[in-house]
Amino acid sequence: MNIEPTSLNVPLERKERWGFVLIIACGIAIAVSAFVSVPFAKVFAASCIVGLPILWLFFFPPRSVAAFVNRAGFVRVAVYFFIFSYLALTKRFFIPVVLALIEHVLA
């Protein structure tokens, strides 16, 4: 006698929108916190600029990106080179621009 169900009706497909939801939620949190505490908004914006793309790549990757991240060899080295290049570009360009934008809007 078979007592196990034939199907659990649980979709196993990855939802592609969770990365975008995370980015929108952080943007809303930065905007709201800018009116409450400007220093906190600056620090939170800087941490979101640095951390969100990395978290998105490793926890909510689109199928095309997941295929590259999970490969071995030269492709994996290229992905990590891209990540470290992004971090360097963030330090030099993105964070100062966003902090200046927050200061300009709230000044």
For the segment 37-91, what is each residue's pLDDT rounded down to a tens digit? Answer: 988 988 998 888 888 887 777 777 767 666 666 666 777 788 788 888 988 898 8
Q: How far is CA 4 from CA 7, 12, 19, 48, 63, in A?
A: 9, 19, 35, 45, 32
Question: Closest by alpha carbon to 57, among 79, 72, 37, 39?
Answer: 79
Residue 62 phi, psi (nearest 5): -65, 165
What is the reported pTM?
Answer: 0.66
Helix (H) or strand (E) holding 84: helix 74-89
pLDDT one-digit tens code per residue, 58-67: 777 767 666 6
Which residue type is seen at 48?
C
